[in-house]
Chains A and B, each alone.
Chain A
Amino acid sequence: MKHLRVVYLGKRYDEPPPLSLLDRSLKDKGIVGARVGAADNNLNGKFVGQETDLTEDILPADGDILAEAKKVFAAGNQLIVADLEAKDLLAVADLPEAKDAIILDIRTSDDELRQEECRANVFHLAPSYAMRADALGQFLLYKRWQRWFLIHGTQPADLEYTAAVKRAAARFGSRIVAERTYTYNARARTTDTGHQQTEQQMALLTQSVPDYDVIFVVDMDEVFGEYLLFNSFDPRPVVGTQGLIAVAWHRSFEEYAGQEMQNRFERFAHRVMTERDYEGWLALHIFGEAMLRTGATDVATLRQYVLSDEFNIAAYKGVGLSFRKWDLQLRQPILLAGPRALISIAPIEGFLHPKYLTDSLGYDEPETKCRFAH
């Protein structure tokens, strides 16, 4: 029996609760997906004498990630699933002992991590902000809804996604006719009253703007975005981080055997599979596939395989997924989901690319600012 040793390295960051009462506040996003991925690997691996051993190493929010990572590497681990925010991710990746590791980043969407701050040992599974904004940008161009009213929060993540939205507008010839910021500090999730206030606040926020087609909202922390739907001064659809969203996974997605994945996850976890769970599952699936195809468990062989032209992993998206060699971002179709149903899948028909259609989303090779240090 061959054993593949994978460590899930994470931290319990303080995450804001979802704004909608319909979404459960979850503390185990990501890791549950990884557990299902390991179980899938082992179900299939038993026919060929292969086993995946998943170690869960999740620190409290104030935990010392560097000390923990050093221990992990000192124990001989080189295959890491990183459920870490940007700063911690880079700190781990820059450890000398991590130099030859494969670190699969399942959490971040920061463009910077795929551009100036890219690392040769960090592979990004989640779509970048640029890929998400481009997916919506393609859809809005297809619909000819090209006058955008941009409303965004002021947290660092909001500003990053906002930059990606502006890039998408420029790429697809759309226009941001107005831009407003919104800050709101009340963080209580439940209150006995409040919708009257919200109604007025959102109407105020959205009045006296030039004519526009859609509200493009960027509210990563879920502070107000959900309230824009049906509360805007003018009757307009909402896209961005609420309303029509661009994601790698969504409960409304069933195509390409996605339904079987959703069911398998729900049988295991008794809850809905979130986007980070999907990335966690995908990380284990990538390691499992690399072992299955190469018969190897050492990091050098596995790395060579995932960067080879043969690597083209099936992950319920209809086409095989592979890594962009210039920034180690996983190229992938992106789901465009409304609150209750799947609306479309980007790349939208008609958006072409000489190599991969999915490379029409995000930073393409000629635009990349990533230079791997060798």
Chain B
Amino acid sequence: MRGVLSIAFFAALLSSQSTHAATLFVTNERDNTVTVLDSLTLNIKKIIPVGARPRGIVITPDHTEIFVCAGDDDKLDVIDTKTLTVSRSIPGVPDPELVAIDPAGLRIYAANEEDSQITVIDRASGKIVGTVAVGAEPEGLAISPDLTTVVGTSELAAMAHFIDAKTLTIETNVLVDQRPREAQFTQDGKQVWVSAEVGGTVSVIDAQTRKIIKKIGFDIPGVRAELIQPVGIVFSLDGKQAYVALSHANRIAVVDTHTLVPITYVLVGERPWHMAIDPNGTKLYVANGNTNDLTVIDLRSLRPERSVPVGHLPWGVAAMP
């Protein structure tokens, strides 16, 4: 009797640890919605209507708000994570494609795809505090952990612009490969990783010297080089691995951040765009643009576990504990 009890107790303990569900938010570019899912059951909890052509999505560090780019409505919609409704909108942000928030949760940065600029917004007031003119078709955005530097990529110019966050002026332009889509600082702030969709590489840039340390290439047996198109980049919580979505190659590359060499490739749905890591670090959620689904990758085994349908043309993912 006691034995049975203790096993049940132990099982309950285990399950309480691993069953702590995160909430996932996925933008559906074609539907003008955000799908909300429970990370464990992968059931859809809610479908939130947002503005037209939602792509970029980011959660605030305090997990209370989610910012969504409504590209064709020239605004950001802000979802209250308690009520799961759009609680406010930030108008006057022209054609936003991708949005980022600084690690302190104070400022929002939006890439204005058709206006060759980055809009800087005070999160609390929702007021635009500045703009930065960059190259044509800006997209990727990253803010250094010490809040001093913003990196914005320009797709047509094939550059990563290093911007002083205080003065909002460009300090350095780093030429990368063609059509840079995303920029990410490593957790220690020492490197910036920039993906190049048509170039087929990820440039690892030294954040101090602003020189390219290495261009990571991807070679997948049986997959044509032209289909390997790096887009989204996410780092593991311990910083030892990077996950790079390879779009038409239908795979996520797993890269060793120490050696800067790809370790393996995980097959997902068609045209994976962006990803989010589970707050407990064990799963990666991938938005597959062409197959209208979300793939869950187990990060211990590096295997795809399940794919579930979301909306049409899923683009970005955010995860809330």
Q: Do A and B bind each other?
A: yes
Interface residues of chain A, those whose CB is within 8 Å of chain B, are: 40, 43-44, 47-48, 257, 260, 263-264, 292-293, 312-314, 318-320, 356-357
Within the assembled complex, what's the spacing in Å between the Cα atoms of A40 and B154? 12
Contact bitstring B152-166, A, C-beta under 8 A = 1, else 0: 001111110100000
B135/A44 in contact, CB under 8 A: yes
Smallest CB separation, B239 vs chain A (Å): 31
Select which of B113, B173, B227 is within 8 A of A48 by beta carbon.
B173
Interface residues of chain B, those whose CB is within 8 Å of chain A, are: 113-114, 116, 134-137, 154-159, 161, 170, 173, 175, 178-179, 197-199, 224, 226-227, 229, 248
The 6 A-B pairs at the shortest CB distance, nearest first, are namely: A44-B157, A314-B198, A314-B178, A44-B135, A47-B173, A319-B226
Residue of B nearest to A356 (CB): B226
B114/A48 in contact, CB under 8 A: no
Residue of A nearest to B161 (CB): A47
Within the assembled complex, what's the spacing in Å between the Cα atoms of A314 and B135? 15
B226/A43 in contact, CB under 8 A: no
A40/B175 in contact, CB under 8 A: no
Q: List 29 A-B contacts (CB under 8 A).
A: A40-B136, A43-B116, A43-B135, A44-B135, A44-B154, A44-B156, A44-B157, A44-B159, A47-B134, A47-B157, A47-B159, A48-B173, A257-B137, A260-B113, A263-B114, A264-B114, A264-B136, A292-B157, A312-B198, A313-B178, A314-B155, A314-B158, A314-B179, A314-B199, A318-B248, A319-B226, A320-B178, A320-B226, A357-B226
Residue of A nearest to B159 (CB): A47
Residues of B within 8 A of A40 (CB): 136, 156
Within the assembled complex, what's the spacing in Å between the Cα atoms of A367 and B263? 41
Smallest CB separation, B92 vs chain A (Å): 18
Smallest CB separation, A266 vs chain B (Å): 11
Residue of B nearest to A49 (CB): B173
Within the assembled complex, what's the spacing in Å between the Cα atoms of A260 and B173? 23
Residue of B nearest to A44 (CB): B157
Within the assembled complex, what's the spacing in Å between the Cα atoms of A72 and B318? 56
Smallest CB separation, A308 vs chain B (Å): 14
Smallest CB separation, A44 vs chain B (Å): 3
Smallest CB separation, A294 vs chain B (Å): 11
B136/A47 in contact, CB under 8 A: no
Residues of A within 8 A of B199 (CB): 312, 314, 320
A292/B136 in contact, CB under 8 A: no
Residues of A within 8 A of B135 (CB): 43-44, 47
Most buried by A among B113, B178, B198: B198
Residues of B within 8 A of A264 (CB): 114, 136
Residues of B within 8 A of A260 (CB): 113-114, 137
Residues of B within 8 A of A48 (CB): 159, 173, 175
Residues of B within 8 A of A320 (CB): 178, 198-199, 226
B170/A47 in contact, CB under 8 A: yes
Within the assembled complex, what's the spacing in Å between the Cα atoms of A203 and B226? 46
Smallest CB separation, A333 vs chain B (Å): 10
Residues of A within 8 A of B170 (CB): 47
Within the assembled complex, what's the spacing in Å between the Cα atoms of A44 and B198? 18
Can you name 6 extra interface pairs (CB under 8 A) apart from A314-B178, A320-B178?
A: A47-B135, A47-B157, A264-B114, A292-B157, A292-B175, A314-B199
Within the assembled complex, what's the spacing in Å between the Cα atoms of A274 and B179? 23
Within the assembled complex, what's the spacing in Å between the Cα atoms of A103 and B135? 27
Smallest CB separation, A41 vs chain B (Å): 9
Smallest CB separation, B26 vs chain A (Å): 20
Smallest CB separation, A261 vs chain B (Å): 9
Residue of A nearest to B135 (CB): A44
Within the assembled complex, what's the spacing in Å between the Cα atoms of A264 and B112? 13
Smallest CB separation, A314 vs chain B (Å): 4
Residues of B within 8 A of A356 (CB): 226
Residue of A nearest to B157 (CB): A44
Within the assembled complex, what's the spacing in Å between the Cα atoms of A248 and B83? 48
Within the assembled complex, what's the spacing in Å between the Cα atoms of A47 and B173? 7
Residues of B within 8 A of A312 (CB): 178, 198-199
Select which of B113, B158, B224, B227 is within 8 A of A292 by beta carbon.
B158
Smallest CB separation, A51 vs chain B (Å): 14
Residues of A within 8 A of B248 (CB): 318
Residues of B within 8 A of A293 (CB): 175
Residue of A nearest to B113 (CB): A260
Residues of A within 8 A of B113 (CB): 260
Residues of A within 8 A of B179 (CB): 257, 314
Residues of A within 8 A of B197 (CB): 314
Within the assembled complex, what's the spacing in Å between the Cα atoms of A119 and B15? 72
Residue of A nearest to B155 (CB): A257
Residues of A within 8 A of B161 (CB): 47
Residue of B nearest to A43 (CB): B136
Smallest CB separation, B10 vs chain A (Å): 52
Within the assembled complex, what's the spacing in Å between the Cα atoms of A255 and B99? 21
Residues of A within 8 A of B227 (CB): 319
Smallest CB separation, A34 vs chain B (Å): 16
Residues of A within 8 A of B157 (CB): 43-44, 47, 292
Residue of B nearest to A263 (CB): B114
Residues of B within 8 A of A313 (CB): 178
B224/A357 in contact, CB under 8 A: yes
Residues of B within 8 A of A357 (CB): 224, 226
Within the assembled complex, what's the spacing in Å between the Cα atoms of A293 and B158? 10
Residues of B within 8 A of A47 (CB): 134-135, 157, 159, 161, 170, 173
Smallest CB separation, B257 vs chain A (Å): 27
Most buried by A among B136, B173, B199: B136
Most buried by B among A312, A356, A357: A312
Within the assembled complex, what's the spacing in Å between the Cα atoms of A180 and B116? 52
Residue of A nearest to B116 (CB): A43
